[in-house]
A and B are shown apart, each in its own frame.
Chain A
């Protein structure tokens, strides 16, 4: 069905009534009503957390928190938005931190105030078990905080609701950074490649490639060997391609 022919439903934006076609996201419904966003709009795809929106419908006593770009309008909903939520962010130098169990609690001691009310998990639009990752933070399980909180878009819904006044997304961010930097191993192969580049292993071949004519490049391009989808034990026939060919030509 064409959207234009769709049923119009009433919504209330900051208390004012508008009629919008059903099936629109809250974000588009607000635009349809004449809003041109400055705040409360970013990626329009559910990853930036700019569009945190609260609403209530007549049939439900609860206030729901959603991302406006990811949720549909409902008849009679009352909408408000929270474009900016003050959060506490501690100062630290990641490089100097150590992955000790109490590190999160030392930097964000307010986590110990958690009342285990679970409000944060209930409101999280990404359905993250927020209370659980805070509990893990208290227990010093950095890896679990990092993986549980991974989809966090830092919208701040949990921050707004937390009776213990914890800035959960910043605790989680710190945990992920410590995990990424100090717990996950740095890749040996990667360091090796960087070393090779520093020692000039590819200087010659790149120096030649930048000088090649289009037709020469096309020929090499066409001769590339394609690594297959299932490349478990795959080894290319010419390991040193295109350097081998270019050296022969010299």
Chain B
């Protein structure tokens, strides 16, 4: 590694200002097809039962869909209601908190439930920032084009329109809640680049954007007196006899008790699936990102879209081994850090979209054999972080990336002086539950917001668009769910959808009795605690 670092240092000055050409749309497609993990043979399979029959999803997710429910419907007394509310929000990340805030503001009795601590989420981990077209030469229309191009032109247009149109409003809402967004010297908002953007449009709070936003939202939820139920994951959704969602069953993780919550409307905001480790990849995601929402909603009959498209972030940490898989913010590349191979040469324009950049990295390592090996046998390429100091001035890394500086410093690496070794890591589910522009799924009275939903990002999300998405659709879902709850009377609750779904699996001969899902908590015990390397 040392020798290779020296090569990176030798080439640094000569490539510092070099413009690396961008790929044409055709070249991008070719690269994706050859190297993106989504296209790997045998990684995905078709679902054979349920409302999403025929869709292809990663094997790891299909396994959960074909497993047994955590509850035995016959054993549950649906008349023993633990809590009764207007709007039930499932998931205590940014999407859930936003939905709860707006539902409650719209006058609904709201309950926010979550699996782990309130705020344990992917939201809290967001580093780079949130998109909104604010700049003088930027516009929602350019934001629209960037988003839809990044998504492979398959994004659902009505959702993208909602996203870009609400963006400035959301940014101001957050600022009014007291989020300390970064400013320029003149006091106006600072914006930086992410991949696939034609204008700088990402608004940050250093590299702690998600943490800053999440702690503010949590405080606001408590300020408003909204009830929060922690360490109580939902395990199944409840339907009424008309097939509308009427609440959920929860598991109290401390006591193992099952609690039934009946609600007029329900908002699912359970986040992503990183902890399924698709194709064995490490992940950037938090501990609770185990696809629970998808598993429950699929059984309840909610349609999905693009669930075969997984985002691998090009700059996951490859060294030191304690940090494998953890994210190194895209903002580094936004601030001019370059990706270089073992010889210190660039191989891609760093501001290509994530799917393309990851594919290029995989090509560099696997096909061109220009990767760098670590002592544990992992391979990666360099993210030349010292270049940021060279291009943008000494002290920039301390100012813009205090968290990442601290994290690497803890393990003896000074990223202002040394490059960081990176390799793609599983980061985001591009698809999810199909929603309309108000966040409603195909199951009446069931809404979805945030990473669990899909469509708005097409097959590949842009950096900074997910934080935006969770607030835009969390808000819209919260408002409509509250409004809808006013005229709604929940019918008799049932779990027949679970019984029928399992019967169907059995008929097809694919019921996996050894798997119970949703899995709720990942299992890293014993040898599984050690980093696994699959390349």
A: residues with CB less than 8 A from B are 1-4, 21, 23-25, 28-29, 31-32, 34-39, 41-48, 50, 70-72, 89, 91-95, 126-127, 146, 150-151, 153-154, 173-174, 176-181, 184-191, 193-194, 197, 202, 205-206, 209-211, 214, 217-218, 220-222, 224-227, 229, 231, 234-236, 239, 241-243
Contacts and interface: CB of A to CB of B under 8 A. Distances in A.
B174 to A, nearest CB: 9
B169 interface: yes
A186 B145 contact: no
Contacts of A197: 140, 165, 168-169
18 contacts: A24-B529, A29-B529, A36-B521, A39-B116, A42-B116, A42-B287, A47-B211, A95-B176, A150-B402, A151-B208, A186-B176, A189-B189, A206-B141, A209-B144, A224-B198, A225-B198, A231-B200, A243-B139
Contacts of B133: 193
A92 B153 CA distance: 46
Contacts of B180: 146, 150, 176, 179-180, 184
Contacts of B212: 150, 176
B531 interface: yes
A1 B137 contact: no
Contact of A221 (B149, B160, B528): B149
Given A38-B231, A50-B120, A150 B165 contact: no
Contact of B141 (A38, A202, A229): A202
Contacts of B25: 218, 221-222
B168 A193 contact: yes
B141 A243 contact: yes
A contacts with B: majority SS: loop
Nearest to A208: B141
B286 A42 contact: yes
Given A3-B376, A217-B148, A210 B158 contact: yes
A216 to B, nearest CB: 10
Given A209-B157, A220-B145, A231-B200, A3 B530 contact: yes
A150 B401 CA distance: 12
B77 interface: no
Q: Which of B120, B181, B210 has the most chain A CB within a 10 Å cutoff?
A: B120
Interface in B240-290: 253-254, 284, 286-288
Q: Which of A41, A48, A50, A205 has the most CB of B within 10 A?
A: A48
Contacts of B294: none
Contacts of A42: 116-117, 120, 124, 286-288
Nearest to B323: A45
A2 B525 contact: no
A146 B179 CA distance: 11
A187 B336 contact: no
Given A70-B410, A181-B178, A37 B521 contact: yes
Contacts of B183: 184
Of the listed residues B254, B377, B525, the one surrounded by the most CB atoms of chain A closer than 10 A to its CB is B525
B407 interface: yes
B173 to A, nearest CB: 10
Given A21-B530, A177-B216, A180-B179, A236 B137 contact: yes
A138 to B, nearest CB: 21
A91 B140 CA distance: 38
B250 to A, nearest CB: 14
Interface residues of B, number: 92
Given A206-B161, A227-B137, 6 more contacts: A28-B322, A34-B525, A46-B406, A180-B181, A206-B144, A206-B164
Nearest to A241: B142
Contacts of A226: 22, 198
A47 B208 contact: yes
A70 B284 CA distance: 15
A2 B377 contact: yes
B46 interface: no
B114 to A, nearest CB: 11
B10 interface: no
Given A34-B525, A43-B125, A44-B286, A229 B336 contact: yes
Nearest to A243: B141
B392 to A, nearest CB: 9
Contacts of A236: 137
A181 B178 CA distance: 4
Contacts of A186: 172, 175-176
Q: Which 9 A-B pairs have the closest CB atoms?
A: A177-B178, A180-B178, A42-B120, A210-B157, A31-B529, A181-B178, A32-B529, A221-B149, A224-B198
Contact of A187 (B134, B137, B376, B526): B134
A48 B124 contact: yes
B139 A202 contact: yes
B377 A28 contact: no
B158 A41 contact: no
Among A45, A185, A218, A225, find the residue whose CB has the most chain B CB atoms closer than 10 A: A45
B377 to A, nearest CB: 7
A173 B525 CA distance: 35
Interface string B21-50: 010110000000000000000000000000
Nearest to B216: A177
B109 interface: no
B403 interface: yes
Contacts of B223: 91-94
A181 B403 CA distance: 23
Interface string B498-535: 00000000000000000000000101111111110000
B172 A190 contact: yes
Given A177-B178, A187-B189, A205 B141 contact: yes
A193 to B, nearest CB: 5
Contacts of A126: 406
B171 interface: yes
A95 B254 CA distance: 37
Contacts of A202: 139-141, 165
A197 B144 CA distance: 14
B189 A190 contact: yes
A106 to B, nearest CB: 16
Contacts of B142: 224, 241-242
B81 interface: no
Contacts of B377: 2
Most chain B beta-carbon contacts within 10 A, residue among A1, A179, A194, A239: A194
A179 B287 contact: no
B227 interface: no
A48 B322 contact: no
B125 A36 contact: no
A178 to B, nearest CB: 7
B321 interface: yes
B367 interface: no
Contact of B120 (A2, A21, A43, A72): A43
B187 interface: yes
Contacts of B284: 45
A65 to B, nearest CB: 14
A189 B188 contact: yes
Interface in B97-133: 116-117, 119-120, 124-125, 132-133
Nearest to A204: B141
